[in-house]
Amino acid sequence: MPQVPQDAGYWTYLVPLIILGVVIVRNARARTLKIERLWISPTIIMVMAVLAFSHNPPPGPFGLALDMAAVALGALLGWWRGRASTFTVDPATHVVTSKVSPFGMLLILGIFGLRYLLRGAISGETSVLHVTAAEATDSFLLLAVGLVSAQRLEWWIRARRMIDEARRAGASA
């Protein structure tokens, strides 16, 4: 069971749940996809990761293996989430709209839940999993880097392909 300090209020649970709810509601609607801006989210999260790593000592061999596994798992999940998204292209304007699938939203909920469940097992400097709290935090951050980067790359590839097909169809008509 996760360990939360005694003086921690309900907000420690409520704020992340509110943010998660906003993300789910926002992603449930179809939105215009600006493919020229898909690089921004991965760049921001990579900068955050670099800043976080610059303040921590280098990981040990197990921590490094865990970090590489986290990036790989994040990339796999991001690719899957990107493939599960639905795109439409307006044939006249070539504007792409995207909608994240319910499975993609469940994936985010699952990651959030896993992090919550593992919080107790990885708290403190020595843990049941023999991973320091810093190594675990770094791994979750790298999972997010892999997920966001792979998802945005998949979206960019699919959107470019769909726009090119729409342009070819418009030119031949």
Query: Where does residue 33 rank: exposed (0-12), middle (13-18), buried (19+ CB within 10 A)?
Result: buried
* pTM of the predicted model over 0.85: no
Q: Does residue 122 form part of some domain? A: yes
* Model pLDDT, residue 130: 64
Q: Does residue 92 form part of some domain? A: yes
Q: Does residue 149 form part of some domain? A: yes
What is the average per-residue pLDDT within 124-136?
62
Q: Does residue 140 form part of some domain? A: yes
Pairwise CA distance, residues 61 & 40, whole Å: 31
Residue 58 belongs to domain spanning: 11-172
Average pLDDT, the chain: 81
Q: Does residue 147 form part of some domain? A: yes
Q: Does residue 2 form part of some domain? A: no
Pairwise CA distance, residues 171 & 173, whole Å: 6
Q: How many domains does the chain have?
A: 1
Q: Is 89 helix (H, G, I), strand (E, B) or coil?
A: strand
More confident residue, 78 or 118: 78
Pairwise CA distance, residues 117 & 111, whole Å: 10
Q: Does residue 84 form part of some domain? A: yes
Q: Does residue 4 form part of some domain? A: no
Assess whether pLDDT exceeds 50 at residue 2: no
